[in-house]
Structure 1
Amino acid sequence: MAEPDEPLKTDDANKWRWILSSGWHGRCPRCGEGHMFASWLKVTERCDACGLDYRFAAPDDGPAFFSLCIIAFPLAFVIVWLEVMFDPPIWVHLFTSVPIMLFGCLLPLRPIKGWLVASQYVNRAQEAGTQGLWAKLHGSDASRSEFDQ
């Protein structure tokens, strides 16, 4: 694991593994020990182990978008196939298709959000030209990156 005050220094393969591991387990992308989430989808304010400030984390609608594109879209084809091939009564869809869609789309939201937050930290992703504005809004040092404070 990386020390709390030094940025993660790895090659691309290790960076990718680190992002997937910390995001999947909901662990801090800096130290790998603290919790990333305060509740199911709410990102905590600070890491309880190394003190990483999560104000940089802005996954916004990314988890929902990826869940819909990667999971819901193919599942819709499966449900349509079920309807076309077997023409089941509506209660079959109520007890099979609806739960499959709900669980299939909701369960992956947390790991996807964790991956996006970890990716933002590891790749130091932020909007171009916003470092000064962030420092002013959060009362932090403008000469240091938000990822290091």
Structure 2
Amino acid sequence: MDDLPAPATPEPAEPDRRPSVVQAGLKGLCPRCGEPTLFAGMLRFADKCSACGLDISSFNVGDGPAAFLTLILGTLVVIMAIALELTLSPPLWLHMLIWIPVTLAGTIGTLRLTKGALLAAEFRNAAREGKIDLRP
């Protein structure tokens, strides 16, 4: 059995540099090359990736991120508000004092994440007009 040749080991392939949808959203990474060039400001997308040249302006996430946040955070806030009401029965003004800032902070705080993730998902699924070059 010692005469058998050693099994051939495949060459390691170049790792995929494209970030996951979550990574792109969390870190603002370009969905094609993985460089942190997705945003030009706090919530504004860059027109183009300075590393690989991906035309980010051709993507249109529209109001999708805000709609997702409204539904998801709205559900969570309503559940928490009902739980608070059923346990402590605070006055209405206290509910407003708590839940309006929580809702605003949650929405604004996660808007960048959802915008980046939605754009990366759009890129991954080639959900825009024209042809997408997936090569870095």
Number of residues of Structure 1 aligned to a counterpart in Structure 2:
120
After superposition, give the CA deviation of every residue in 1:91-126 in whole Å (9 maximum; x if it has no partner).
422432222111122211111110111111122112
Runs of 4 or more off by more than 3 Å in structure 1?
none
TM-score, length-scaled by structure 2: 0.75
Report what 2:133 is aligned to: 148
Report what 1:41 is aligned to: 43
Contact in 2 for aligned 1:72/1:104 (Cα 8 Å) = no
Structure 1: any 5+ residue segments left out of the alignment? 1-8, 132-144
Contact in 2 for aligned 1:23/1:111 (Cα 8 Å) = yes
Which of 54, 57, 60 in structure 2 is aligned with 1:58?
60
Report what 1:19 is aligned to: 21
Report what 1:107 is aligned to: 109
Report what 1:86 is aligned to: 88
SS at match of 1:108: helix
TM-score, length-scaled by structure 1: 0.69
Report what 1:134 is aligned to: none
Shift of 1:87: 2.2
Shift of 1:74: 1.9
Q: Based on CA coordinates, which of the two structures has the bigger radius of gyration?
A: 2
SS at match of 1:96: helix
